[in-house]
Structure 1
Amino acid sequence: MSGRDFQGKQMFMKLTLSLLAIIISCTSIVYRASAADIQVINFGFEQGLTGWTPFKDKDNGNDQDEKGSVIEVSGNKASEGSHSVRIHDAKKSRAFGLESSKLNAEAGTSYVAFADVLVESGKAELFFRFYGGNGQLLGESSTQAGASMAWKTIQVGMTAPAGTTHATVYLYSSKSNEGTSYWDHIRFTKDFTNLGVQVGSASPLGATFGIGANQNQIYSVITGNANDRPIMQVIDADTEKVTNVATLPSASVNPTGAWAATTASDGTIYLGTYPNGRLYKYTAGDSAITDLGAPLPGESYVFDLAAGTDGKVYGGSYGKAGFFEYDPVNGATQIGSMPFYNPAYKYLRALAHDNGRNVSYLAMGNNASIVRYDHNTGKTDDILPAKYKSITLAGTVDYTGDRVFVAIGGYLMALRVDVAPDGTVTSTEEMSTTSAAPRVSPAHNGSVYMTVSSNLTRYDIATKQLTDLDLAIPGRIQRYGWVTLKDQANYPGETLVGLTDGNYETNIIKYNPQNGMFRVSRVEGSPRIAGAINSIGAGPDGNIYTSAYLYGGLGKYHPFGGDADDSQPEFIYAPISQVDKIESENGKLYLGAYPGGLLYEYDPELPWSMGVNPKLLINTSVFQQDRPKALAYGDNRVFMGTAGTTGARPGALSVYDYTTGTAAVHKDIVTDQSIIALAYHNGLLYGGSTIRGGYSSTPSQTEAKLFVYDPIEQTKTNEYSLPEITGGRKLTAITELKTIDGKIWGFAEGYLFIFNPDTRTFDYFAEKFPDVKLPEGNYRDADLVTVEKDPNSVYGTIGNKYLFKIQKSDMSVQIIRSDGADMLAADDAGNLYFKHNDTQLWRYSF
């Protein structure tokens, strides 16, 4: 492929286990998957009666007359697809039925069968039957439905008796019945089903280029999760294929990912990881990666690395904003104090090194600084222009072409740094542009290259001019390098090569400045790792949607549709950044996305086209908001609660009004607190807060608040403290609110409360989970769900540990699972979906 080989920045991917087709210019990626769902053969009767056995018995007088009774497939009615089966029973003394093929079942396991039924007259019965190895019937259970002119879902459940090997679903009209029923969408499931991975990626994060004999090699890391350690891939820039992979070694705390990667002057590859804050090295050609330990004990992130002279590398960390040097001879040495430069800082987020002057440039924060550190004198100077000081943190720093390039707050700038004879350091902003991706290329013939508005752009250092090359870049460039490719006919001299993360794949770009040759292609052989589920929500289309930490994407699971219990997802919509909250209302799916505190509206009935569907309703980044943690809907308005940007305490309540088509953002609606729970009732919005502000901010408040917001007046009308706790302890986070039976139910740490909107008092307040305590606040913790089939109970998860049920009658709690359950959503049949084991979506059917 040549020219713009990568088309379609909005992409729908269908994934299965073995790769069948990868075509970069197309909009889908296809894999095959084995089914975790136990599917009934021909469950929707789209293949006639295949897989089903009709049954008709004689009446008591052995009369063969059926009086027109019939079992037939109908194309007139269907709850799903285009067909159903019609059982017309016209004779009271005869029974008619239809039994499914046998399904594998295990003794002692609880099972549930569901069926959609429309009963025109009489009644219809749904049976569960369990069989032994010799075909003997061991037990059965049934339920029935009366006449109704609309489709409804009925279910029957039972624990398989001893000796069970198989089960069937039986659709039945008894001897005492006369009537007509239509049946469709027959489902069968265990009580607990692991539906496997929903979102995954082969996107690179930390990346670096080889040097010398390995100058055509690219080293990048695919992010892992709680179960899967990250994998480093080695990519040949000539062949665009992965030539080697190595999993990062285990440790007392395993690595999850690596933001930091650099190539030392001796050719050694170094990686810095999180959440274990360790340094790793790799030598070209080796089969394994070496763990060098924690360069700064106690730090959780090594956020960036930069190469110095004599094989040295420099690194920065998160936690206490540490700065270190790693010397291959002497090991790791801390530079200065921790935190470095400013005692209030927690981040040393990015850095670059000027080898000629032995100077490092450090992106630090909570409030942004770009610190010039002279290794010869130990002198520090903040060179960030004053107009950027209100921004909390820079994202990247590159030093090339005798300029410092800084990405911060949506800007990418070039700084010239001058040192006067008396040592005074000044910086001059020579270029600044918006809509630019953070990374820039090494300087080449007086220019550097970057991505502006998703196009490759050249910046001339001498003239300070930007030139749009009109070449589309998929995703974000993780690293640029200059490579002498073997194909000198098409790519003479040195070619700009970049590694991107477009559409959850590792992609490579090539641009030759001599002849303008441009190519984008997917790297073959990149490992794919499951994404840690970050949010779960039920869609208006009956599907269950998920998104992944860091990767983003929107996974879709169609209930009982055969999704795989494996390491790969089946459906992903992309691109979309990390979704922190998913809710549906009014036929739309609402997505709260990070970073920038974005609210999208997605219509599942229309094609996915990023920016169009889903469309952006609210962008709160200009209000220093970052993480959407709560969504609610009411009276033609969508509400979103957010946490602030890194270092900023105030959160916000945002409102999109469909009547006017306008958005309002109420920042700091609860003083110095984030808004993480919302519920709408009877014209008013109820919100819950946490004392935790943006990342790395220090709380100024001591207790969470319940507040009331009037959408008509557009103002907060009341704010309440939670009831007092013996001993005076204050609860720091209201992590869930739910309108149930006209009252506001909520969780604050391990305490369940019920707020009465009529009396403005708390009707109930009691500790249910003593082991759930959040002393510094939290962004999310508990979820509550109600289902129509069990109106007397409320279901929930809490503490990333418990799946539970609350009986409304006495408020007692029944623990359903205590081995890890987080987030909660319900499908149309009342089945519950939760995260287990970090990457897996599980279903609970009852």
Structure 2
Amino acid sequence: MAGPARMTTRRELLRSSALAGVAGFVAPMAALRESSRGTVTDLGPASSVTSLSGSAAIADKLYVATGGVSPTVVGAYDPAQQKITTKYLLPTGEGAWATTAVGSDLYVGTYAPGDLYQVDSTGTAVTKVADALPDNFIWALDSSPDGKVYAGTYPSGLVFEYDPATGVKRSYGSAVPGEQYVRSIAVDDSTIYAGVGAHAHLIAIDRASGEKRDILPAEFQNRTFVATLALEGGLLAAGLSATGTLLLMNTADPATYDTIQAPGDSYITAITIDASNNDIYFGTRPSGSLYKYDRDTGELTRLLVPYDGAYFSGLFLADGLLRGVLTNTILTYELATGALSGVDVTQAGMPPAPELAMAIATDGARVYVSGKAGIQIHDLASGTSRRTFLPGEAKAMTPARGQLWLSVYTLAYLFRLPPDGDPIRVATLDNDQTRPLDATYSSADNLLAVGTQPEYGRYGGALGLFATDTGQLDVYRDIIKDQSVRSVAIKHGKAYLGSSIRNGLGTTPLATEARLVTFDLAARRVEHELVPVPDAREIVDLIATGNRVYGVTEMGLAFEYDPARRTVVRTSQVSTGSTALVGIGESIYGADTRHVFRLDPATLTTTTVLDGLDTDSGAMIAAAPDGSALFALRGRNLIRIAL
């Protein structure tokens, strides 16, 4: 395998002539002054981003659709001008993963809700033509040679057809009963190929009769997803997760196939087939590599890594140029010369918009808000913010030792973020873990403790213990049997773990009740466990203060646990849903999606601090280290509440 023709960092790429000046989005904020108790200061959009998901080519333009922002925007990118020449706003949806073209029309599938739109690329018309009901997520789209549109959905794993000529929608039902995802789809004259997860299947569906058969070879049926598909001239290329395997199958004889392994990678995110030269190009994660596979010679060549962790969501080949759509960048690679250039779509004409936040944290001087592929850093002294790129989503952020520690989805990576630098990857939990759920730092133990959810289709979360001074990482898989580690707190040499009965997405829970586990950090063993609240499915947050541990369930029921007596002392209803807790000394504050409150540890009663949050990002709260303020989200804006 040949080495990459070019490898650079994202910062270097952004300094190229096409990308200069857009390393971070700057949002003005009012300078903070001394505030009286209860004063609320609106700090503007918490996190703003241009993040691309779906993409398709029509004539000489690339059409790209945003994800994680509302409204969803579709942009027509003209490579000759390096500009977005037309923008289309979709009335519904929080983003769009799926796109396909039929003639001059673009079809876009949204999520939340799962609507199918027709976009007229010759004009400005946007028309909703179908929906994914009863599902709310269109994951995949493709079009057939005779001009019909085929969609794969979540969470029922459905396949449906839309005929633009008649306006008729036909359902093929679930690709595999019991499986939730149709993550990829490809169509030829007679057959729909549906890539399924979270337990991998490759289903061939007869377009006329609807008959289904699974053509995934038996040796790959332990994979989680057939996540990516490309089809050309009877060759079906499939990306298998989470092993980074490329399966090349002859559709006339599915028993005839070859496999290519992307070294060190887990996911194949985009594929295009160059039938005229018998070559295949594909992008992988987590390395962010672009590969070429020559079918004539069997040679696999890593062409480039545009920056660490790059995510190719689309690849398009035309006139000797390979164009790649990344998180917010469109790259052009010249096949003959290996020359690489790139354009940031923000600079090209798709400005950032407020996004759903993933987590918030503060070190006192700054407030950090994580989102899709980045961290928005609000400087409280200057009243400005900047965005730094992150190859993934920080699900938990923990200030410690003068840096911010990021627990990142996917593959449960740990990064550290220096105050004035870019994120640096330091470790991965491995052990089939993918989604961090909570993290906390113990200065007494120099430990960052991270609780995780396993890979799609897998059971058994983990506790990761990372020594911030030495870099030693220890991972304890399935520490709460058949459950994920949803919340973590540390006190007096003990880690307290709250579980979730939910495992990897696409699984059915095996346990029925969430558990509270005491883990001895010195002995590195489980010391005690119990069910703190009967019938609770998740312990969504934990706070250890004084000689007690306080937790809250997914239904907003708080409990007080006495470690000495190993018993729950009392419970109290503090909210109506998932709630985040934060400690300031021995005081506890909480937030759900509607209000911020103070929780009295002595009585488990609450006092409202602020109403009217109305955030769609979930329950989030952070506290200034000196106890002077709380930070929360109101709508999609960041607010400061003086204490």
Matching residue of 1:235: 77
Report if the CA contact (8 A) 1:451-1:473 is conserved.
no
Distance between the aligned counterparts of 1:809 and 1:717, measured in 2? 26
Matching residue of 1:717: 527
Specify which of 350, 367, 389 is matched with residue 544 of structure 1.
367
Identity of aligned residues (%): 24
1:667 counterpart = 2:477: yes
1:480 counterpart = 2:315: yes
1:336 counterpart = 2:172: yes
Cα gap change, 1:319/1:32 in structure 2, threshold over 3 Å: closer, same or farther? Answer: closer
> Displacement, 1:345?
0.9
Matching residue of 2:200: 368
Report if the CA contact (8 A) 2:397-2:404 is conserved.
yes
User: What does 1:248-327 correspond to in 2, within 5 Å?
Assistant: 248-249=90-91, 254-264=92-102, 266-294=103-131, 296-327=132-163
SS at match of 1:323: strand
Matching residue of 2:623: 826
Specify which of 273, 276, 290 is matched with residue 442 of structure 1.
273
Report if the CA contact (8 A) 1:650-1:668 is conserved.
yes
Report if the CA contact (8 A) 1:23-1:29 is conserved.
no
> Displacement, 1:661?
4.3
Distance between the aligned counterparts of 1:244 and 1:659, measured in 2? 51
Q: Counterpart amino acid of 2:129? A: L
Matching residue of 1:163: none
Specify which of 63, 66, 80 is matched with residue 222 of structure 1.
66
> Displacement, 1:256?
0.5
Deviations 1:444-465 (A, max 9, x none): 4221222365454321123332
Deviations 1:712-755 (A, max 9, x none): 2222121111155xxxxx22211111111121111123222111
Deviations 1:254-299 (A, max 9, x none): 30100000112x33110001011110011122223111131x3211
Q: Counterpart amino acid of 2:435? A: R
1:495 counterpart = 2:292: no
Report if the CA contact (8 A) 1:628-1:642 is conserved.
yes
Distance between the aligned counterparts of 1:625 and 1:817, measured in 2? 37
Deviations 1:508-554 (A, max 9, x none): 32233345444323341123222211101123x63221101xx1311
1:417 counterpart = 2:250: yes
Matching residue of 2:636: 839
Cα gap change, 1:472/1:29 in structure 2, threshold over 3 Å: closer, same or farther? Answer: closer
> Displacement, 1:442?
3.3
User: What does 1:546-565 correspond to in 2, within 5 Å?
Assistant: 546-548=369-371, 551-563=372-384
Matching residue of 2:594: 801
Report if the CA contact (8 A) 2:198-2:225 is conserved.
yes
Q: How many residues align?
A: 624
> Displacement, 1:300?
0.7
Report if the CA contact (8 A) 2:107-2:118 is conserved.
yes
Specify which of 560, 579, 584 is matched with residue 782 of structure 1.
579
> Displacement, 1:837?
4.2
Matching residue of 2:260: 431
SS at match of 1:643: strand
Distance between the aligned counterparts of 1:706 and 1:733, measured in 2? 10
Report if the CA contact (8 A) 2:67-2:96 is conserved.
yes
> Displacement, 1:202?
2.0
> Displacement, 1:843?
0.9
Report if the CA contact (8 A) 2:429-2:475 is conserved.
no
Cα gap change, 1:702/1:759 in structure 2, threshold over 3 Å: closer, same or farther? Answer: same
Distance between the aligned counterparts of 1:711 and 1:430, measured in 2? 44
Runs of 4+ in 1 over 6 A off after TM superposition: 3-6
User: What does 1:594-673 correspond to in 2, within 5 Å?
Assistant: 594-604=409-419, 607-608=421-422, 610=423, 614-620=424-430, 623-634=431-442, 635-657=445-467, 661-673=471-483
1:200 counterpart = 2:48: yes
User: What does 1:460-475 correspond to in 2, within 5 Å?
Assistant: 460-470=294-304, 472=306, 475=310
Report if the CA contact (8 A) 1:538-1:827 is conserved.
yes
Report if the CA contact (8 A) 1:401-1:442 is conserved.
no
Deviations 1:222-267 (A, max 9, x none): 2243xx3111101112111111001002xxxx30100000112x33
Distance between the aligned counterparts of 1:319 and 1:455, measured in 2? 30
SS at match of 2:506: coil
Distance between the aligned counterparts of 2:434 and 2:126, measured in 1? 35
> Displacement, 1:835?
3.8
Look at both structures and tell me which one has the larger radius of gyration over its CA atoms: 1
Q: Counterpart amino acid of 1:270? A: Y
Report if the CA contact (8 A) 2:19-2:343 is conserved.
no
Report if the CA contact (8 A) 1:303-1:348 is conserved.
yes
Distance between the aligned counterparts of 1:834 and 1:427, measured in 2? 58
1:347 counterpart = 2:181: yes
> Displacement, 1:617?
2.4
Matching residue of 1:380: 212
> Displacement, 1:33?
4.4
> Displacement, 1:194?
1.5
Matching residue of 1:9: 10
> Displacement, 1:343?
1.5
Cα gap change, 1:679/1:402 in structure 2, threshold over 3 Å: closer, same or farther? Answer: same
Distance between the aligned counterparts of 1:757 and 1:31, measured in 2? 46
> Displacement, 1:615?
2.8
> Displacement, 1:844?
0.6
Report if the CA contact (8 A) 1:643-1:693 is conserved.
yes
SS at match of 2:157: coil
Specify which of 512, 534, 546 is matched with residue 741 of structure 1.
546
Question: TM-score, length-normalised on structure 2?
Answer: 0.90
Deviations 1:777-805 (A, max 9, x none): xxxx32222335xx5x421113x222101
> Displacement, 1:217?
0.9
Distance between the aligned counterparts of 1:631 and 1:335, measured in 2? 43
Distance between the aligned counterparts of 2:639 and 2:57, measured in 1? 40
> Displacement, 1:629?
0.8
Distance between the aligned counterparts of 1:195 and 1:831, measured in 2? 16
Distance between the aligned counterparts of 2:433 and 2:170, measured in 1? 34
Matching residue of 2:561: 755
Report if the CA contact (8 A) 1:8-1:26 is conserved.
no
> Displacement, 1:198?
3.2
Distance between the aligned counterparts of 1:671 and 1:581, measured in 2? 23
Report if the CA contact (8 A) 2:9-2:307 is conserved.
no
Matching residue of 1:244: 86
Q: Counterpart amino acid of 2:369? A: T
Distance between the aligned counterparts of 1:33 and 1:718, measured in 2? 48
Specify which of 693, 698, 701 is matched with residue 511 of structure 2.
701
Distance between the aligned counterparts of 1:305 and 1:289, measured in 2? 17
Deviations 1:86-144 (A, max 9, x none): xxxxxxxxxxxxxxxxxxxxxxxxxx54xxxxxxxxxxxxxxxxxxxxxxxxxxxxxxx
Q: Counterpart amino acid of 1:319? A: P
Report if the CA contact (8 A) 2:588-2:601 is conserved.
yes
Matching residue of 2:29: 35
Cα gap change, 1:495/1:11 in structure 2, threshold over 3 Å: closer, same or farther? Answer: closer
Matching residue of 1:519: 341
Report if the CA contact (8 A) 2:13-2:307 is conserved.
no
Where do 5+ consecutive residues of structure 1 fail to align? Answer: 14-20, 40-111, 114-156, 159-189, 484-492, 564-569, 725-729, 773-780
Distance between the aligned counterparts of 2:559 and 2:10, measured in 1? 46
Deviations 1:306-335 (A, max 9, x none): 110222111111121111111112334334
Report if the CA contact (8 A) 2:25-2:48 is conserved.
no
Q: Counterpart amino acid of 1:258? A: A
SS at match of 2:77: strand
Distance between the aligned counterparts of 1:259 and 1:304, measured in 2? 7
Report if the CA contact (8 A) 2:556-2:573 is conserved.
yes
Cα gap change, 1:468/1:703 in structure 2, threshold over 3 Å: closer, same or farther? Answer: closer
Report if the CA contact (8 A) 1:352-1:399 is conserved.
yes
Specify which of 757, 764, 786 is matched with residue 570 of structure 2.
764
Matching residue of 1:170: none
> Displacement, 1:11?
7.6
Matching residue of 1:582: 397
> Displacement, 1:693?
1.8
Cα gap change, 1:588/1:761 in structure 2, threshold over 3 Å: closer, same or farther? Answer: same
